């Protein structure tokens, strides 16, 4: 496993993150445990802020779908970034953290009338309108509330990014956005411009996630700028803002070579500026929405090793106390991860094993074929780069409680998400009176 951020191996041979011994963390908070490296999370925010905002005056909106809770909202706010939110639940979370709503972009391909009303009530900075239905609905809702919705339109640029099929979004055959090629996008712009209760500021697109090729981004920026130019010629209206989404890839395992944030910024802003200059128009303000590249590397998951099953000549399975419930990414996207034995992080690998989860599915595997020191029950396994799309996609399959999350830094560890309890698991269950064991009692308590 590649050590990064504040990770180091301490005098006891244990993996340390944020000045905290991870073996102690496992003992204190239990496992599975999500550990978030505060300094690295903040540094990743700062890298974006420096590369985009300080260098180019561009906007950076952290994509909360990658990792969101109250503490994360506070970190993002303190580092000066905005938030990309996609649901009433995410809006509510940001609101409860008292995040400045003017810095929020509200996304989604099927926002409900209630969610749109909430976004208007909270006065979010931008609503990213995805389709005609939403455009009409929003215009009506904003009218009813005697307000104006500040919007940008999500467009489908028709670009195929090189990434997993499930996390591609820029191609024409997509559920997201208005297609440029077939005239839908232009029709929506004309409609938006004549509406009384929406104010159109620009466009949005997002080509996918875990992308390494900067050429895909440059291509996307050019396609979008071609369209900005075309719209300007045909309507006289010039887009003031171009939100180019997120998606920058990160290092998960050997072979992953992500570009730097500065290279990404130079590519995007450079392509937009060049295209604007060619057309003799003012360049729109660039906005980006990174999620994974901010929180992904800052997360590590700690597990306790349990059953070990050796099938001589075939494979050695090492089972941990979590799995697809806290990290569904290997099962969903064949995602790869690296790991180390946290309590013997100074030892060299001696054997190749496969790390299995504890769910009742053969597909519940976290890592296939990884070289590790010989493992035994009770060892603490640390899986790195689990900060993005782990906690936010965690589930209760097999009624496994979701793990706790701690924020570590300067030798301190603070609980930022409590571990679910068995009582939490049944807290939304309801037992109709006729199914209760003590019917008399249940009738009384139902009253
Ligand atoms: N903006 C929009 C409109 C998005 O749809 C996304 C991600 C982002 C920004 C942030 O992308 P990022 O920088 O995090 O790559 N669950 C999948 C990833 C789904 C991405 C969804 N949209 C995974 O675990 O790989």
User: What is the structure's pLDDT at 346?
Assistant: 97
Whether this model's pTM surpasses 0.85: yes
User: What is the structure's pLDDT at 14?
Assistant: 98
Give the DSSP per-residue string, 287-300: EE--SHHHHSTTEE
Residues with CB under 6 A from ligand 1: 63, 65-66, 84, 107, 167, 169, 206, 209-210, 245-248, 289-293, 329, 333, 388-389
User: What is the structure's pLDDT at 11?
Assistant: 98
Q: Which of 153, 154, 289, 330 to mutate to test the pocket of ligand 1 (most atoms within 8 A of CB)?
A: 289
Number of other residues whose CB lies within 10 A of the CB of residue 181 = 12
| Residues in the chain, total | 447
Q: Which atom belonging to ligand 1 lies closest to the Cα atom of 329?
A: 24
Q: Which atom belonging to ligand 1 lies closest to the Cα atom of 211?
A: 15
User: Hey, what are 268's tokens?
Assistant: 């995007």
Alpha carbon distance 131, 153 (integer Å)? 8
Residue 241 Cα to ligand 1 midpoint, Å, equals 20
Q: Which residues contact 172 (CB under 8 A, 6 or more apart)?
A: 156, 158, 179, 181
Residue 317 Cα to ligand 1 midpoint, Å, equals 31
Positions marked catalytic:
360
Query: Are 344 and 379 a contacting pair, CB within 8 Å?
Result: yes
Q: Which residues contact 57 (CB under 8 A, 6 or more apart)?
A: 285
Q: Which atom belonging to ligand 1 lies closest to the Cα atom of 291?
A: 14
User: What is the structure's pLDDT at 168?
Assistant: 60
Which helix (H) or strand (E) element contains residue 340?
strand 339-341
Write down the H helix ranges in 4-161. Answer: 22-29, 38-48, 55-56, 70-78, 88-96, 113-122, 132-144
Q: Which of 41, 245, 393 to mutate to test the pocket of ligand 1 (most atoms within 8 A of CB)?
A: 245
Q: Which of 45, 178, 247 to mutate to test the pocket of ligand 1 (most atoms within 8 A of CB)?
A: 247
Residue 140 Cα to ligand 1 midpoint, Å, equals 30
User: What is the structure's pLDDT at 160?
Assistant: 73
Tens place of pLDDT per residue across the chain (447 aa): 999 999 999 999 999 999 999 999 999 999 999 999 999 999 999 999 999 999 999 999 999 999 999 999 999 999 999 999 999 999 999 999 999 999 999 999 999 999 999 999 999 999 999 999 999 999 999 999 999 999 999 999 988 776 666 666 667 888 999 999 999 999 999 999 999 999 999 999 999 999 999 999 999 999 999 999 999 999 999 999 999 999 999 999 999 999 999 999 999 999 999 999 999 999 999 999 999 999 999 999 999 999 999 999 999 999 999 999 999 999 999 999 999 999 999 999 999 999 999 999 999 999 999 999 999 999 999 999 999 999 999 999 999 999 999 999 999 999 999 999 999 999 999 999 999 998 665 555 554
Alpha carbon distance 384, 296 (integer Å)? 9
User: What is the structure's pLDDT at 440?
Assistant: 61
Residue 375 Cα to ligand 1 midpoint, Å, equals 35
Q: DSSP secondary-structure letter at 263?
A: H
């Amino acid at each position: 496993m590649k050590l990064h951020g504040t990770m180091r191996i301490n005098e006891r041979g244990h993996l340390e993150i944020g000045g905290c011994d991870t073996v102690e963390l496992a003992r204190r908070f239990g496992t599975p445990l999500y550990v978030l490296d505060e300094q690295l999370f903040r540094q990743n925010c700062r890298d974006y802020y420096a590369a985009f905002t300080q260098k180019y005056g561009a906007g950076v909106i952290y994509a909360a779908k990658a990792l969101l809770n109250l503490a994360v909202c506070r970190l993002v706010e303190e580092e000066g970034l905005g938030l990309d939110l996609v649901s009433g639940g995410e809006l509510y979370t940001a609101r409860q953290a008292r995040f400045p709503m003017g810095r929020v972009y509200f996304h989604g391909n099927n926002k409900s009338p209630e969610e749109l009303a909430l976004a208007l009530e909270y006065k979010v900075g931008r609503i990213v309108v995805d389709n005609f239905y939403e455009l009409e609905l929003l215009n009506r809702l904003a009218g009813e509330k005697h307000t104006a919705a500040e919007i940008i339109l999500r467009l489908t640029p028709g670009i195929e990014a090189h990434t997993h099929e499930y996390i591609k979004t820029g191609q024409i055959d997509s559920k997201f956005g208005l297609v440029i090629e077939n005239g839908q996008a232009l029709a929506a712009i004309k409609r938006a411009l004549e509406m009384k209760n929406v104010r159109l500021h620009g466009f949005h697109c997002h080509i996918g996630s875990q992308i390494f090729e900067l050429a895909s981004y440059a291509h996307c920026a050019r396609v979008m700028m071609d369209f900005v130019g075309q719209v300007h010629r045909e309507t006289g209206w010039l887009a003031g803002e171009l939100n180019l989404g997120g998606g920058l890839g990160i290092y998960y395992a050997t072979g992953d070579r992500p570009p730097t944030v500065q290279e990404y910024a130079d590519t995007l802003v450079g392509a937009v500026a060049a295209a604007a200059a060619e057309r003799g128009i003012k360049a729109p303000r660039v906005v980006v929405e990174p999620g994974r590249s901010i929180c992904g590397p800052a997360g590590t998951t700690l597990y306790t090793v349990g059953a070990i099953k050796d099938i001589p000549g075939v494979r050695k399975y090492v089972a941990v106390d979590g799995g697809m419930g806290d990290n569904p990414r290997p099962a969903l996207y064949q995602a790869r991860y690296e790991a180390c034995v946290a309590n013997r992080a100074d030892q060299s690998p001696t054997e190749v094993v496969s790390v299995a989860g504890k769910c009742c599915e053969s597909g519940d595997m976290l890592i296939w074929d990884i070289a590790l020191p010989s493992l035994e029950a009770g060892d603490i396994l640390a899986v790195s780069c689990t900060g993005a799309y782990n906690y936010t996609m965690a589930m209760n399959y097999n009624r496994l409680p979701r793990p706790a999350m701690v924020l570590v830094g300067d030798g301190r560890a603070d609980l930022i998400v409590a571990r679910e309890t068995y009582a939490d698991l049944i807290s939304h269950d309801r037992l109709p009176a006729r199914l209760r064991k003590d019917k008399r009692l249940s009738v009384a308590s139902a009253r």
